[in-house]
């Protein structure tokens, strides 16, 4: 194929997988996308319906005009640093596919650790009430319900747009889960045994990558030191007639000592910590 400057990428008419793969990787690398090759393979999978092993084994496979058009469009969006999950309309969390859009934060792999730790503290054969506070897409709470059928889960978020996405995922998995608009625990059910809290924790002014800048700021930034929303949460917990036995939080590891101090000032002690996740237990329990 004759060399063409990539500024004229939109005019190219790729004929096969090899050409599309090579030229598309260059386009994303030029845009400083660190996962260029993987992203292109994923987008090729979506456009062709073939898995990446098959695509790599068949570089001569000819793409039709519709596939070429689709791939060019999504590559343009990805080169502008739009998160891959927003382009695809879904992402994977704990081995399951969740719907999402630009109104919610993309669930991070590090958040899966919260589910692992939840499993360790759940009491077998006993109904326990779990609230996913700041649920976003609903990935944490829905996963908790699917992994632990004895849990009674409700999803809480202040953002009505986020709750629409959470409700779509509840319906996708055909679950009977309550979805409520609530400023943290303001409208939560009075009885809660466990709180799952992946709240905004990035300090204001902290430099985030271009893709994260496309995500809702309300779900990312948490005040000067990043922990203002957690302070508000623990203040609300203290006002409850029946305080939760456990509170699971996600924050940057460098924030863990300060978050532990906040929790201890509200009668919670650190039970365990792993990666970004901390598990706090009510001292009187």
For residue range 212-253, list pLDDT tens digits in order. Answer: 778 888 889 999 999 999 999 999 999 998 999 999 999 999
Signed CA dihedral, 267, 261, 151, 138: sign only: positive
Q: Which domain holds residue 62?
A: 6-80
Question: Can you give the pLDDT at residue 210?
Answer: 81
Residue 6 has pLDDT above 60, yes or no: no
**Contact (Cβ atoms closer than 8 angstroms) between residue 105 and residue 215:** yes
Same structural domain, 115 and 68: no
* Integer-rounded Cα radius of gyration of the chain: 22
CATH of the domain at 167: 3.40.50.150
Residue 4 has pLDDT above 50, yes or no: no
Residue 11 has pLDDT above 70, yes or no: no
* Weakest-pLDDT range from 50-54, 109-113, 171-175, 208-212: 208-212
**Contact (Cβ atoms closer than 8 angstroms) between residue 160 and residue 136:** no
Give the C-alpha distances (Å, rounded to integers) separating 155 from 18, 19, 39, 231, 270: 45, 46, 31, 20, 24
Same structural domain, 11 and 147: no
Question: Can you give the pLDDT at residue 285?
Answer: 54
Same structural domain, 108 and 241: yes
Same structural domain, 67 and 195: no
Section 137-161 average pLDDT: 95
**Residue 96 forms part of a structural domain:** no
Overall domain count for the chain: 2
Same structural domain, 131 and 69: no
What distance in Å separates the CA atoms of residue 221 and residue 208, rounded to the nearest whole number?
A: 10
Q: How many CA atoms lie within 13 A of 139 on its CB side?
A: 26
Q: What percent of the chain has pLDDT over 90?
A: 84
- Among 80, 113, 132, where does a domain finish? 80
pLDDT 10s digits, 28-57: 999 999 999 999 999 999 999 999 999 999
For residue 129, the cross-strand partners are 152
Give the C-alpha distances (Å, rounded to integers) separating 118 from 143, 197, 271: 11, 12, 12
**Contact (Cβ atoms closer than 8 angstroms) between residue 249 and residue 234:** no
Residue 281 has pLDDT above 80, yes or no: yes
Tell me the pLDDT band of 75, cut-offs 50, 70 and 90. Answer: very high
DSSP 137-167: TSHHHHHHHHH-TTEEEEEEES-HHHHHHHH
Same structural domain, 130 and 203: yes
Tell me the pLDDT band of 8, cut-offs 50, 70 and 90. Answer: very low
Same structural domain, 44 and 126: no
Same structural domain, 229 and 269: yes
What distance in Å separates the CA atoms of residue 115 and residue 250, rounded to the nearest whole number?
A: 11
Residue 18 has pLDDT above 90, yes or no: yes
Question: Can you give the pLDDT at residue 10?
Answer: 43
**Residue 91 forms part of a structural domain:** no
Signed CA dihedral, 10, 11, 17, 18: sign only: negative
**Contact (Cβ atoms closer than 8 angstroms) between residue 172 and residue 166:** no
Residue 280 has pLDDT above 70, yes or no: yes
Residue 107 has pLDDT above 50, yes or no: yes
CATH of the domain at 12: 1.10.8.10
Section 185-194 average pLDDT: 94
Same structural domain, 124 and 153: yes
**Residue 1 forms part of a structural domain:** no
What distance in Å separates the CA atoms of residue 155 and residue 135, rounded to the nearest whole number?
A: 6
Q: How many CA atoms lie within 13 A of 251 on its CB side?
A: 26
Tell me the pLDDT band of 81, cut-offs 50, 70 and 90. Answer: very high
Segment (H or E) for 180: strand 178-181
**Residue 116 forms part of a structural domain:** yes
- Among 46, 80, 114, where does a domain finish? 80
* Mean per-residue pLDDT of the chain: 91
**DSSP annotation of 271:** E
**Residue 173 forms part of a structural domain:** yes
Same structural domain, 200 and 70: no
């Amino acid at each position: 194929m004759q060399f063409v400057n990539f500024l004229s990428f939109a005019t190219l008419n790729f004929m096969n997988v090899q050409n599309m793969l090579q030229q598309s990787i260059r386009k994303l690398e030029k845009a400083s996308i660190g996962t260029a090759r993987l992203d292109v393979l994923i987008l090729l999978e979506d456009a062709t319906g073939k898995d990446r092993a098959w695509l790599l084994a068949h570089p001569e496979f000819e793409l039709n005009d519709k596939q070429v058009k689709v791939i060019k469009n999504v590559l343009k969006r990805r080169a502008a640093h739009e998160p891959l999950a927003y382009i695809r309309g879904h992402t994977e969390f704990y081995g399951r596919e969740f719907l999402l859009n630009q109104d919610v934060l993309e669930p991070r792999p590090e958040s899966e650790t919260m589910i692992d730790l939840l499993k360790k503290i759940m009491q077998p054969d006993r109904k326990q009430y779990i609230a996913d506070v700041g649920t976003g897409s609903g990935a944490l709470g829905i996963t908790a319900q699917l992994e632990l059928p004895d849990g009674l889960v409700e999803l809480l978020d202040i953002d009505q747009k986020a709750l629409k996405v959470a409700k779509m995922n509840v319906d996708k998995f055909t679950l009977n889960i309550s979805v409520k608009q609530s400023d943290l625990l303001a409208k939560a059910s009075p009885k809660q045994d466990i709180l799952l809290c992946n709240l905004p924790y990035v300090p204001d002014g902290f430099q985030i990558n271009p893709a994260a800048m496309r995500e809702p700021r309300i779900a990312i930034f948490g005040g000067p030191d990043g922990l203002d929303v957690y302070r508000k949460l623990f203040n609300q917990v203290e006002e409850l007639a029946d305080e939760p036995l456990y509170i699971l939080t996600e924050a940057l590891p460098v924030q863990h000592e300060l978050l532990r101090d906040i929790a201890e000032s509200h009668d919670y002690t650190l039970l365990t910590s792993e990666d970004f996740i901390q598990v706090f237990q009510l001292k009187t329990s």
